[in-house]
């Protein structure tokens, strides 16, 4: 007698092998154990997370993978309060997948347009930075994993921008580097590592090799899975199954950031700047100092 247990009580025919369908794949994604991500930590380790719980041991320093999915534009995410690992996680107050406007399901949108949002200017956040941060969410598969399991990987702002050296780059520069060499992130094995020369937690990316024929088949299969596209859009909180929304009443309780903690604002990116009001110049310049009005105009506007 077979040891297989059937879920059917009236089965009369024999199934002809494993069957797949779009509905089955969508349901599999929403089932327990299917929300997966790789988390970068400020202690220099990477952890596999499944539904918000760590699986296996953390690995230190670096790992190799293939980027199988990403959006064309950089995303944005906003929390009103600092990250606090000791408090219950909530969804962000506001976020934008394509960096242009809040998502419809954002519970506390800050403006109808990201470019004009007051949280998207220098000085709106701590230490003179922006309150709303840039972020990349990509879908990756791990080198050596023949199952082709897809994970979300969140790339914080300070690991996105800047110039690379040789073939080691921040992520946006890395993608351009590959494209300029007639390659693509889904056609190479990428080394993702912590920058040992950085004073804060920053990641760098470098190509290891072209993917093999077998890996190419895994990439194509991964790109057909619904979670691959989903992971490029959902926040880490959503990936972990967090559904609690920030309280909107005033005064609001502390909002807990569920993403990995990020450092100060990224430098070297052209962004809107919150300017101070100009000092009012005298109505009439002194006859003894004909340049007074011009000097007043210059001195009142901080560059």
- What HEC string does the chain produce? CCCCCCCCCCCCCCCCCCCCCHHHHHHHHHCCCCCEEEEECCCCEEEEEECCEEEEEEEECEEEEEEEECCCCCEEEECCCCCCCCCCCCCCCEEECCCCCCCCCCCCCCCCCCCCCHHHCECCCHHHCCCCEEEEEEEEEECCCCCCCCEEEEEEHHHCCCCCECCEECHHHHHHHHHHCCCCHHHEEEEEEECCCCCCCCEEEEEEEECCHHHHHHHHHHHCCHHHHHHCCCCHHHHCCCCCCCCCCCCCCCCCCCCCCCCCCCCCCCCCECCCCCCCCCCCCCCCCCCHHHHHHHHCCCC
At 231 the pLDDT is: 93
Question: What token pair was written down for 159?
Answer: 């690991």
pLDDT in the model for residue 252: 41
Beta bridge partners, 154, equal 137
Q: Count Cα neighbours of 60 within 13 Å in the Cβ-side half-sphere.
A: 2
Non-local (6+) Cβ contacts of 13 within 8 A are none
Q: What pLDDT sits at residue 205? A: 97
Residue 120 phi, psi dihedral angles, 5° rounding: -110, 30
pLDDT at 23: 66
What pLDDT does 15 receive? Answer: 52
Place of tokens 């969508």: 26
Question: Which token pair is 31?
Answer: 């089932």
Residue 206: predicted pLDDT:
96
Q: What is the pLDDT of residue 110?
A: 87
pLDDT mean by block of 10 residues, the chain; 303 residues: 44 52 57 75 92 91 96 89 72 85 84 90 82 92 95 92 93 96 96 90 95 97 94 76 60 44 43 46 47 42 41
């Amino acid at each position: 007698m077979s040891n297989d247990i059937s879920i059917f009580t009236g089965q009369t025919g024999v199934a002809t092998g494993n069957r797949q369908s779009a509905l089955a794949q969508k349901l599999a994604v929403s089932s327990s154990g299917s929300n997966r991500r790789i988390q970068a930590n400020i202690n220099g380790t990477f952890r596999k997370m499944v539904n918000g719980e760590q699986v296996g041991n953390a690995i230190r320093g670096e790992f190799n993978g293939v980027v199988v999915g990403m959006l064309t534009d950089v995303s944005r995410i906003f929390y009103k309060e600092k990250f606090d690992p000791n408090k219950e996680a909530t969804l962000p107050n506001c976020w934008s997948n394509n960096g242009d406007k809040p998502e419809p399901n954002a519970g506390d949108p800050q403006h109808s347009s990201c470019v004009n949002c007051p949280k998207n200017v220098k000085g709106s956040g701590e230490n003179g930075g922006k309150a709303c941060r840039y972020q990349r969410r990509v879908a990756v598969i791990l080198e050596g994993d023949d199952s082709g399991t897809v994970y979300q990987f969140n790339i914080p702002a300070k690991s996105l921008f800047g110039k690379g050296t040789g073939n080691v780059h921040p992520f946006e520069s890395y993608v351009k580097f590959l494209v300029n060499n007639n390659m693509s992130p889904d056609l190479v094995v990428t080394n993702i590592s912590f920058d040992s020369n950085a004073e804060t937690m920053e990641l760098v990316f470098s190509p290891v090799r072209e993917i093999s024929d077998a890996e190419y088949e895994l990439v194509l299969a991964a790109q057909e899975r619904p979670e691959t596209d989903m992971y490029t859009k959902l926040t880490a909180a959503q990936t972990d199954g967090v559904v609690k929304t920030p309280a909107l009443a005033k005064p609001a309780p502390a909002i807990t950031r569920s993403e990995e903690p990020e450092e100060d604002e990224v430098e070297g990116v052209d962004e809107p700047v919150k300017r101070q009001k100009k000092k009012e110049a005298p109505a009439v310049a002194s006859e003894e100092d004909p340049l007074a009005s011009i000097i007043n105009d210059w001195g009142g506007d901080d560059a």
